[in-house]
Amino acid sequence: MSEPGLRPSRSRRRWWRPLAVLAGLVVAGLGGVALGEALHDNPRPGGTQGYVRTLTPLGLPPAAETTVTVTTP
């Protein structure tokens, strides 16, 4: 057994855990941002490119001027 006074108190032993968790979250967050920026800056080559074009309708040809009547028996 250890003698009293040689072991650090509980509050002195546990201060590093939250600090280590916080440091790990910061490192993971920065790594995620770096990866996102790298993927955004270097997209895959040969991607598709869209093109928008507005079409105007053509005029209608003039209607036939003759009337045709069809009768069936």
Q: Where are the alpha helices (DSSP H) in the chain?
A: 10-13, 16-41
> What integer pLDDT is reported at residue 28 of this predicted model?
97
Percent of the chain past pLDDT 70, that is, above it, reads 79
Half-sphere exposure for 55 (CA within 13 Å, toward CB): 4
Instruction: Name the residue type at position 31.
Output: G
Angle at 58 between CA 52 and CA 62, to 5 degrees: 170
For the chain, the domains span 17-41
Give every CB contact of residue 56 below 8 A, 6+ residues apart in sequence. Answer: none
Q: What is the pLDDT of residues 3-55, one digit of tens each?
A: 666 666 666 667 788 899 999 999 999 999 999 998 888 766 777 778 899 99
Q: Given the structure tokens 């598709």, which residue do they identify? A: 48
